[in-house]
Amino acid sequence: MGNLVSSFANVLAADLQPGDAIGFTFFTGYMAMAAASIFFLVERGQVDGKWKTSLLISALITFIAAVHYYYMRDLYLETGQSPTEFRYIDWTLTVPLMCVEFYLLIKPYGGKVSTMWKLIGYSVLMLVTGYIGESLDKENTILWGVISTLGYLGIVYEATIGDVKKVALSSNNPEVANAVRLLRNFVIVGWAIYPIGYMCMEGNLLASTGWNLDLLYNIADAVNKIGFGLVVYSSAMSSTKAAAAAAIKA
Ligand SMILES: *C/C=C(C)/C=C/C=C(C)/C=C/C1=C(C)CCCC1(C)C
């Protein structure tokens, strides 16, 4: 019993300290992801049927992240270590779901399932090699980072020039073309924060900056996961409103 009480006290003692910017982003990240999930789920009731799956996927992405942030936050506060394993489990689930968001946008206009699997394949390559370089084989962290970047560039290519872009353009639906373009911008700008974070690891190219990998990853996660969801949400809302206006006219 005494042990239990003292270990409980230890957990409480592992609290957020003033000035701990990294710890702060673990807390705000957790809460922001949880709040975004509720938002997307509730707003799902407002949009046309064909958008409901997209909003559900947005909610799943932030919900899966919220649960992982719950654990990552505790692990960080108790040990001061990077929660690398939780981080990569989270990404392995959420990044493929972000690929599904692309697919759902282009599917009504002839987007192929094989395009979705191509995107998912690139993300698996990116994340598996990133994990090896961040956790299992730190000696060769730069090499693994380079291989991982090839997977990342594959996704950038598909969304900028490849199949995703082609179908979005040929859709003749400005709403869809615009949503794909905005998501692509998140991939190019927002996702680029991750390799920068990775390069801040010991032994990597930006180690001397003293920037913190977790701080960068936490900021990037909030920007990208919630941002992706908001892009989909606003497209869904404006296309729902346009359809309603057209119905009134007719
Ligand atoms: C919600 C989580 C997201 C959108 C995670 C994205 C992660 C990346 C784009 C990670 C990319 C990496 C590289 C391009 C090279 C170095 C290793 C990684 C895995 C950090």
Nearest CA to ligand 1 atom 6: 191
- pTM equals 0.93
- Give the pLDDT of residue 13: 46
Among 152, 186, 199, the mutation site with the greatest number of ligand 1 atoms within 8 A of its Cβ is 152
Contacts of 49 (CB under 8 A, 6+ apart): none
Among 37, 68, 148, 216, the mutation site with the greatest number of ligand 1 atoms within 8 A of its Cβ is 148
CB 190 within 8 A of CB 155: no
- Give the pLDDT of residue 15: 83
Task: Tell how far the Cα of 194 is from the centroid of ligand 1, in angstroms.
Answer: 5
Query: Does 6 score more than 80 pLDDT?
Result: no
- How far apart are alpha carbons 23 and 174 in whole angstroms? 41
- Give the pLDDT of residue 250: 82
Task: Tell how far the Cα of 25 is from the centroid of ligand 1, in angstroms.
Answer: 18
- How far apart are alpha carbons 68 and 91 in whole angstroms? 10
Q: Which domains does the chain have, with CATH numbers?
A: 21-240 (1.20.1070.10)
Tell me the pLDDT of the chain averaged across its residues: 94
Nearest CA to ligand 1 atom 12: 195
User: Closest by alpha carbon to 212, among 13, 15, 26, 17?
Assistant: 26
List ligand 1's pocket residues with C-beta within 6 A: 91, 94-95, 98, 126-127, 130, 145, 148-149, 152, 191, 194-195, 198, 221, 224-225
Q: pLDDT tens across 55-96, in order?
A: 999 999 999 999 999 999 999 999 999 999 999 999 999 999
Query: Does 5 score more than 80 pLDDT?
Result: no
Task: Tell how far the Cα of 4 is from the centroid of ligand 1, in angstroms.
Answer: 39
